[in-house]
Amino acid sequence: MDEQAALVTTRSRLDPEPPRSLAGEAIQAALLRTAGSADTGRRYLQLAAVFRHLVGEGVLRPGEALPAERNLSTITGFSRVTIRRAIEELLREGILSRRHGSGTYVARRIEQPLTVLAGFSEDMKSRGMRPGSIWLSREIGSPKPEEGLALGVRPDDQVTRISRVRTADDEPLAIEHAVVPTALLPSPDIVVDSLYAALAERGCRPATGMQRLHAGLATPEEARSLLIPFGSAVLRIERRGFLENGRPVELTTSAYRGDRYDFVATVKGMQQSGGLRSE
């Protein structure tokens, strides 16, 4: 029996035990309405279109988990290979997101204001999410030339480096590499979760900062850490934080998932002078 025939008979096969989740019922109903709209080799596109439509209509809500592949196969009558291809398509589009050891979810986009200097942990907590870290490295060493220039330290000074994957509700959202003079952060072990909290305890939390953003593509290592396809869009951010007296305190470079983040800023119109009119 091919997948189209399996789809037509899905309802009868599931009775008297229909899909137990509202998501499963919605997916099944939408597929039955579009039965026959795709050839066998492109069924995954049909399924992806159904997911896309249900997310757009709010039937599948941000943060909601999709049924497991095995359950989706039962619900739709499609093979798990077809289901996996549909999910991969939507992961690339940023409509779905994957959490390690947890499952696949409808993605929630995060609007991050560019005018607020906040640490990742406090930002996620303010959104009602649980921040976390997957540590990649912690070390003390000599500054690289670009680090020394940015932080105003001499080649014979020491800096503290921490690298980690930042997570929210166990979903990886960004890779963060931070460098701080050891005069302000003498050990990487001081940072338990929040770098800014650790700096605040020592009276050296950044008061001002400068951020530089540019678009990029995820490297193989970044893709593995962020659970996104290789070559997915990422936003690369370099942030320099300063104390109130202007002393540099941090140099942080990060790669944020482009499918999950929107960076926003309030802008004002240019002041007109000399009675000139804009055309």
User: Is it true that domain 3-106 has CATH number 3.90.1200.10?
Assistant: no
Contact (CB, 8 A) for 86 and 42: no
Full-model pTM = 0.67
Task: Residue 160: name the closest of 140, 143, 144 by CA.
Answer: 140
Q: What is the CATH number of domain 110-264?
A: 3.40.1410.10
Alpha-carbon gap, residue 163 to 149, rounded angstroms: 20
Task: Name beta bridge partners: 165.
Answer: 134, 175
Q: pLDDT band at residue 23, thresholds of 50, 70 and 90?
A: low
For residue 89, pLDDT beyond 60: yes
For residue 262, pLDDT beyond 80: no
Contact (CB, 8 A) for 140 and 182: yes
The pair of three-digit structure tokens given for residue 195, joined into one six-digit string: 């770098």
Domain residue limits, the chain: 3-106, 110-264
Residue pLDDT, tens place only, 188-221: 999 998 999 999 999 999 999 999 999 999 999 9
Confidence (pLDDT) at 26: 72
Domains 3-106 and 110-264 share a fold: no
